[in-house]
A and B are shown apart, each in its own frame.
Chain A
């Protein structure tokens, strides 16, 4: 069909409009049979008249053939083989009748037969030569024609004034699925197949080309017979009026749909990667599970346009999936079930992923979504299992409105997302567990400090108040007895009294060691002064005591902590430092109490000491300081002495 139309145009169409044959086809080759034979007869007639005229002036018979040879040549050249032979026969007949003696008869003399035969022979040679020339021209023409038709693009020509198409190459039928005749016969057809959004633009580009006379390149969407979009890249050129005819517009339209699609796909892949990257990075910013889930929810909403969705996490106990987050921005009745059986999302070995465009088409998804009454046709469902190191961490169930689903997220994407987010979630969970157990340990060791202090206070009080008072009573009774029975009991009672006194001192010391009641009664300053006296008495290490701002009471906790830190540090100094003097500084700043114990003794490696099992009470000191929201700084190195500084905030939270 297309072939016929193409041929028709080239061979039978209006010659002046065919730009194809502009410079290559001679006029002669496009004559029809009638013209060809008319030319033949005309040429022979002309040769006859010329010969006739010539014979009147110079009756030389041999010359007559010259014109007839010309006539044969013209006929063969213009009309081909048929007209050539006809011209030869006509010429032979005319010569025989009019010019070969006897004239006006068809009788041929013996000598003339040879002449005539020679003529015919010569004429046939001329025909052969001209036919060969014609064939060559025709082959060139055919080659060009084939080239145009074989071109992977639509070649067309139109009248710039009327907009009518004059020629459209066959390729148009392959690309757009319409017969070429549509372009040529229906004036409105060409613009009707341009995508409505591009129509305006294409028209204005054509106008530009016509007005400026310059080439224009444009890309636009056309619609093929099935209504599918075909991207065309077109070059338009306006050919000025010339010998071949009036001005015309020629164009070459190439189908770039595949390229466009490839670009689109590439952009889609890029968008996917970008979304994946953005989600993973922002989700991975935190190690706190709650924040990870919050971020994940936000990111899924923002980047995947998941208006509704649910995040499930694997429960470590029953291994089922438990709902952690659910959102439903469009109120489209997403009712995710609280618990999903593990098998609904993935098997342990190979996490299974699905990407379905309709929740109702998948029985599995229906199970997943449980009572979801979602308007399925309007929504697309994305399901991804969150996997880390081959272990199922949880699952995502996302619904997005199809209108929002500009991006297509494939299985590969969901798989990658699930793996990345899975690892983040696993990390957050592990970190959470670690943090929790560390927190527990910390609380435990703080609790230890508190309990120990309370215990000491209790025992100290018990010793001092109960036992001490009982001993006092006992002592008074004994004294009473010595008075009442001075004679017989005196020595024994005296010795008993001595024992009781000794016991009283002992109990008092014990109580003071555990926790001086003074700390509660009088505060840190008197207690420290008392303690230093006692310390020096026991260790022979002098204490240089510098203090300021202590003429007030501090909170129970601060006084206890300061006292314990000083006590511990002094004990360490006496035990390890090998010094004769230790400096203790105590001061209260604007919002904290500072405690410092310095010796110029042996020193130690604080890092090693803090982490060794035998901490010399350093860890305990640190625990006490931290308990009050303060901090303990230990500066020491072997041979350089030790400086221990604690800062305890006055407004400290305590516990």
Chain B
């Protein structure tokens, strides 16, 4: 069995020492380097070409996610296992998208860590439980832009003004109807146009027609 070369990247000495101690227990693991600053990781990996980079997501100098991206570009053969405190799909997704092969939580046991390293070295992806592909999938869905109806974001006063404006009322007429000052109407109107990304009165009427707020029969 070939030796698995490993670089540890964590800014805390105690963590690095702990990890090294745990990993060197495994006979086929060989920790060939340690980095404590995000900026030096990519160079070290480039130089030492390890099989695995165990990387803390929180790194001074350069954020772990960014380090992941750089390393995966410059040394695509090195498998990156991200070590993180965040049991959060967004982080995992960000790490995976940046080229990480595995994502493991810091609270995971030593056995899990060793397992994870073996899994990523074998070319597979590793996600530490309770993290799963399904959870990530669910997150991706949530993060996808939903059909937000900007009209819905208008305040009720703005909706009143919008409707009257779409019906062709002037600012003064609207002010009269709603018992507010024409200046206030003007402000509301500008706000509406901005929110709905409309530029002209024609845009406004077109929007209102499309939404069925006013109809041509009226």
Are B18 and A594 in contact, with the CB atoms below 8 A? no
B73 at interface (Cβ–Cβ under 8 A)?
no
Are A545's CB and B142's CB within 8 A?
yes
4 closest residue pairs by CB, A with B: A476-B18, A473-B14, A526-B90, A469-B12
Q: Which of B126-134, B150-158, B163-171, B177-185 contacts A (4 or more CB under 8 A)?
A: B150-158
Q: Give which listed residue, B14, B17, B155, contacts A643 with CB less than 8 A.
A: B155
User: Of all chain B residues, which has the CB nearest A497?
Assistant: B109
Flag whether B94 is at the interface (Cβ < 8 A). Answer: yes
Taking the complex as formed, is A522 at the interface, i.e. its CB lies under 8 A from any CB of chain B?
yes
For B18, list chain A residues within 8 Å (CB). 472-473, 475-477, 479-480
For residue B28, CB closer than 8 A to chain A, the reply is no
Contact call B153/A596, Cβ cutoff below 8 A: yes
Q: Which of A273-324 contact B (CB under 8 A)?
A: none
Let me know if B85 is at the binding interface, CB within 8 A.
yes
Knowing A508-B85, A545-B146, A549-B145, the reply to whether A476 touches B197 (Cβ < 8 A) is: no
Chain A proximity of B96: nearest CB distance (Å) = 13
Interface check A633, CB cutoff 8 A: yes
Give Cα distance in the complex from A483 to B18, angstroms.
12
Given known A464-B85, A501-B107, A594-B153, contact A525–B15 (CB-CB < 8 A): no
- B contact residues around A474 at 8 Å (CB): 14
CA distance A518 to B57 in the complex (A): 11
A-B contact pairs, 28 of them (CB 8 A): A468-B85, A470-B14, A472-B15, A473-B17, A475-B18, A476-B22, A477-B14, A480-B18, A483-B22, A501-B107, A504-B106, A505-B107, A518-B90, A521-B91, A522-B94, A526-B93, A526-B94, A526-B139, A529-B89, A529-B90, A530-B90, A546-B146, A549-B145, A551-B145, A586-B148, A635-B156, A635-B157, A645-B155
Which residues of chain B have a CB within 8 Å of any CB of chain A? 10-15, 17-19, 21-22, 25, 57-58, 63, 65, 85-86, 88-91, 93-94, 106-107, 109-110, 139, 142-143, 145-150, 152-153, 155-157, 194-195, 197
CA distance A547 to B147 in the complex (A): 7
**Which chain A residue lies CB-closest to B18?**
A476
Do the beta carbons of B90 and A522 come within 8 Å of each other? yes
- Which among B18, B89, B152 has the greatest number of chain A C-beta atoms within 10 A? B18
- Distance between Cα atoms of A521 and B17 in the complex (Å): 26
Q: Give the bracket for the number of chain A residues in contact with chain B.
A: 35 or more
Secondary structure dominating the interface of B? helix
Q: Report whether B58 and A643 are in contact in the complex, using a CB–CB cutoff of 8 Å.
A: no
The contact string, 1 if C-beta is below 8 Å from chain B, for chain A 538-552, is 000000011111110
| Cα distance, A480 to B142, chains bound together (Å) | 40
- Given A504-B85, A635-B155; 8 other pairs, CB 8 A cutoff: A477-B14, A508-B86, A518-B91, A521-B91, A530-B90, A548-B147, A548-B150, A589-B194
CB distance from B192 to the nearest CB of A (A): 12
The reply on A496 being an interface residue by CB < 8 A is no
With A and B bound together, what is the CA distance between A526 and B144 in angstroms?
A: 11
Q: How far is the CA of A596 from the CA of B152 in the complex (A)?
A: 10
Q: What is the bound-complex CA distance between A572 and B147, given in angstroms? A: 26
B148 touches which of A464, A526, A587 (Cβ 8 Å): A587
Is A356 an interface residue, CB under 8 A from the partner? no
Structural contact, A518 and B86, CB atoms closer than 8 A: yes
Complex: how many Å from CA A585 to CA B148? Answer: 7
Chain B contacts for A589, CB-based, 8 A: 150, 194-195, 197
Q: Are A483 and B25 in contact (CB under 8 A)?
A: yes
Tell me, yes or no, whether A517 is within 8 Å of chain B by CB: yes
In the complex with contacts A474-B14, A522-B90, A592-B194, A550-B63 CB distance below 8 A? no
Task: State the A residues within 8 Å of B (CB).
Answer: 464-465, 468-470, 472-477, 479-480, 483, 501, 504-505, 508, 517-518, 521-522, 525-527, 529-530, 545-551, 585-587, 589-592, 594, 596, 633, 635, 643, 645
A591 and B11 alpha carbons, distance in the complex (Å): 39
Interface of A is mostly: helix
Given A479-B109, A594-B153, verify A547-B194 contact (CB < 8 Å): no
Q: What is the chain A residue whose CB lies nearest that of B152?
A: A585
Contact, CB under 8 Å: B142 / A529: yes
- By a CB distance below 8 angstroms, the chain B residues around A585 are 148, 152-153
**A521 and B153 in contact, given A472-B12, A483-B110, A546-B146 (Cβ under 8 angstroms):** no
Residue on A nearest B142 in the bound complex, by CB: A529
- Are the C-beta atoms of A590 and B148 separated by less than 8 Å? no
Q: How far is the CB of A239 from chain B (nearest CB, A)?
A: 72
The interface residues of chain B lying within 8 Å CB-to-CB of A518 are 86, 88, 90-91
Q: Which residues of A contact B86 (CB under 8 A)?
A: 508, 517-518
**What B residues does A591 contact at CB under 8 A?**
194
Given A472-B18, A480-B18, A549-B145, check contact A529 B139 (CB 8 Å). Answer: yes
Complex CA gap A586/B153 in Å reads 9
Q: Tell me the smallest distance from the CB of B66 to a CB of chain A, in Å.
A: 10
Contact A526 B195 (CB under 8 A): no
User: With a CB–CB cut-off of 8 A, which chain A residues contact B12?
Assistant: 469-470, 472-473
Q: How far is the CA of A525 from the CA of B145 in the complex (A)?
A: 10
Q: A526-B88, A529-B90, A633-B155 are in contact. Are A550 and B107 (CB under 8 A)?
A: no
Q: How far is the CA of A522 from the CA of B19 in the complex (A)?
A: 27
Q: Is the CB of B152 within 8 A of A465?
A: no
Of A476, A501, A522, A530, the residue contacting B110 (CB under 8 A) is A476
CA A105 – CA B61 in complex, angstroms? 173
